[in-house]
Amino acid sequence: MASKGGRVPESYEPGDLNFHYNRDEREAMLSEETKKYLTRSKKRFTLNRRNMIILIDIVVIVLITMIFVPLGLSGRSSTRVDNFITTLRAYEYNGRILVSLKVESGKDNPDEAGIVSVIFSIEDGEETFDSVDLLPSEAAEPRIFRAEFPASGNEKKQALAEVEINGKTRKLSATVKVE
């Protein structure tokens, strides 16, 4: 008795097991819809090209965000001048604006000993505060410059600092945080 597709059925005789399999015959019996599905599953990444493009776009946007957001947030309140890292912070506390600038050496025993000059001010304010000191000689010992200003009624205040190290000038600004 022949089975569907013209195959010989599996037979069993004591000690003998015979099965005749032909892949081409099996695939010939498949429906057209199943054949299409099998050929598409081999091309999984090209099947949904639009979805892959959207996924790649999302990955690129996330990477750009992870790289540039931290740079943009800290770029204005900290900078590097020669081998010295300067960081500006400002807080409003008890009706006063407290501003501090930290100057750190990027390496131990810097080649040039010099002088750092800082001019503090508050945005839209006429009052300034000048300070001059020696540059730090070791990375573990930063120099901290501080200034104090009266608080005004402005909602968004900016503390400004103009730093001069070895003849190079940088301007820093930081938003005043309320505590």
The residue ranges of every structural domain in the chain are 15-74, 78-178
Higher pLDDT, 72 or 53: 53
Which tokens go with 50? 């639009």
- How many Å apart are CA 79 and CA 67, to the nearest integer? 17
**pLDDT for the residue numbered 57:** 94
pTM metric for this prediction: 0.55
Confidence of residue 70 (pLDDT cuts 50, 70, 90): low
Per-residue HEC secondary structure of the chain comes to CCCCCCCCCCEEECCEEECCCCHHHHHHCCCHHHHHHHHHHCCHHHHCHHHHHHHHHHHHHHHHHHHHHHHHHHCCCEEEECCEEEEEEEEEECCEEEEEEEEEECCCCCCCCCEEEEEEEECCCCCEEEEEEECCCCCCCCEEEEEEEECCCCCCCEEEEEEEECCEEEEEEEECEEC
Please write the tens of the pLDDT for every residue from 27-61: 888 888 888 877 765 555 555 778 888 889 999 99
- Answer CATH for 78-178 from 2.60.40.10, 3.40.50.1110, 3.40.50.300, 3.40.50.150: 2.60.40.10
- How many Å apart are CA 94 and CA 179, to the nearest integer? 8
**pLDDT for the residue numbered 177:** 85
Higher pLDDT, 83 or 168: 168
- Amino acid at residue number 62: V
Confidence of residue 75 (pLDDT cuts 50, 70, 90): very low
In the predicted model, what is the mean pLDDT of the chain? 77
